[in-house]
Amino acid sequence: TASILTKFPGIVNGVSIVEIKDGAFYGCSAIEEIVVPETVKKIGDNTFMGCTSLKRVVLPGAITKIPNNAFIDCYNLQEVVVSDYLTEVGDMAFSNCKSLSSIELPDGVTTIGDSAFDTCYSLTSFKLPDSLTEIGEMAFSYCPIETFDTEGCSAFKFADGILSDKDETKIYRAASSMTGDVYIKDGVKEINGGAFSLCSGITNLFIPDSVESIGGYAFSECLQLKSVDFSEGLKTLGDGAFAYNLALEAVELPVSLETVGNGSFMVCQKLSKVIMQENLKTIGDNAFIGCTALKQVTIPKSVEKIGDNAFGMDFDEEGNQIRNSDFRMNVSAGSAGEKYAKNNNIEHDSSGVDLKKLAFIVICVGLLITAIVFAVVLMQRSKKSASRSAKKAHKEALEKEAEKNYKKIAGDDDADDDSDEEDEEDDSEESDNE
């Protein structure tokens, strides 16, 4: 690794080299050029990762896949010659190859993996193979590509500075020179990760209600972006979706949104107003870290999880995370927002009642009311029973007294006799009772 390697033999000690293992040339900073022998049929992941002096690579015809991370961080790589039998470019295969200005992929390639050409700052144009059917997440993020040649590639189209699928339901990449007001076409359902990253000339963005998800870093480093008009329909906002937008001043998230990803609005230094709606459930780690103009937020009761350092945090000159002392939160009692504020010693105002405590109080009050009602009913029944007995006895006594008086007034001797007999019978009954 201390010398410049242009070609190594395909046969060593009489044995043909058919595979280069994972990470075989990892970090070999002295290599400037390498020609892989024809005997090699496969190279492993991370094979040339971190070969910072590597400028030219020739891969043999037997290799059908450029594996994951194969040339990641090869900052000076300028030329890659691949075989006509290549079918796949793996995840992050050429990520951070800052000097790579062009690459010709043969017809036969069907897949370009996630972040395959991420941060290739010199890549300004790209021809899609006719056979291509799949482009991964953030495949061309942070690439200053102005044009995509899609002639012959039926699965994708490039029109009005936008690379999309043939039905225009998913946006993969926008020309970095896009400026002014940008209206996403109605019918688009998904904006791929990194699709508008480095589109620094966009000032106002309008997203239709057909869009359901915005991928990671989709609008990151749109340095002049001042406003975003979100329509209802958006459900997911990916990690870093609007990170490092230094001119963004206010955001009103739609009621349909359920997830704000990690770092979605990190280091939006002019962002002073954020409106979140009920139905939002998750706010990721570092979601609003570094938003120094944001002094106060209201967290909906619907939020179930708030990630680490999501609010009220900034960076010092050395990049360490520090707390903003003048930041406040409006939260609901017993909510995830209140828990976050307490755990991070953030000044906050709590409104409403803890639902668990409220439920306990309601149950206790209900039991008390039930007991009171039951006691009142028993008392009323007891009173009614006693009152009926007293009324009945009083009525019988009055009837008996009235009958005696009637007989006396009538002068009925027999009545007197009968009365005497009745009195005697009564006396006899009383004696018996005694």
CA dist., res. 221 & res. 243, Å (int): 6
Alpha-carbon separation of residue 332 from 299, 350, 394 (angstroms): 8, 5, 66
End-to-end CA distance of the chain: 128
CA dist., res. 233 & res. 392, Å (int): 76
Instruction: Identify the pLDDT of residue 424.
Output: 46
Task: Compute the half-sphere exposure of residue 52: CA atoms within 13 Å on the CB side of its CA.
Answer: 2
Kindly give the residue spans of alpha helices, DSSP state H, lying in 251-354: 336-343
CB 342 within 8 A of CB 310: no
Instruction: Identify the pLDDT of residue 261.
Output: 97
Instruction: Identify the pLDDT of residue 310.
Output: 97
Instruction: Identify the pLDDT of residue 316.
Output: 86
Instruction: Identify the pLDDT of residue 364.
Output: 55
Nearest residue to 337 via CA among 294, 291, 306? 306
DSSP assignment of 122-137 equals T--EEEPPTT--EE-T
Each residue's pLDDT, cut to its tens digit, for the chain (434 residues) gives 434 455 565 555 445 578 888 988 899 888 899 898 888 999 999 999 999 999 999 998 889 999 999 999 999 999 999 989 999 999 999 999 999 999 999 999 999 999 999 999 999 999 999 999 999 999 999 999 999 999 999 999 999 999 999 999 999 999 999 999 999 999 999 999 999 999 999 999 999 999 999 999 999 999 999 999 999 999 999 999 999 999 999 999 999 999 999 999 999 999 999 999 999 999 999 999 999 999 999 999 999 999 999 999 998 888 888 998 899 999 999 999 999 999 999 999 998 644 455 455 555 556 666 656 555 555 665 554 445 555 556 556 655 665 565 455 444 444 444 444 444 444 444 444 44
The DSSP output letter for 169 is: S
Model-level pTM? Answer: 0.78
CA dist., res. 151 & res. 200, Å (int): 28
DSSP assignment of 244-255 equals T-TT--EEE--T
Instruction: Identify the pLDDT of residue 375.
Output: 55
CA dist., res. 50 & res. 73, Å (int): 5
Alpha-carbon separation of residue 347 from 45, 78, 176, 361 (angstroms): 49, 53, 41, 28
CA dist., res. 261 & res. 284, Å (int): 5
CB 163 within 8 A of CB 184: no
CB 281 within 8 A of CB 302: yes
Instruction: Identify the pLDDT of residue 166.
Output: 96
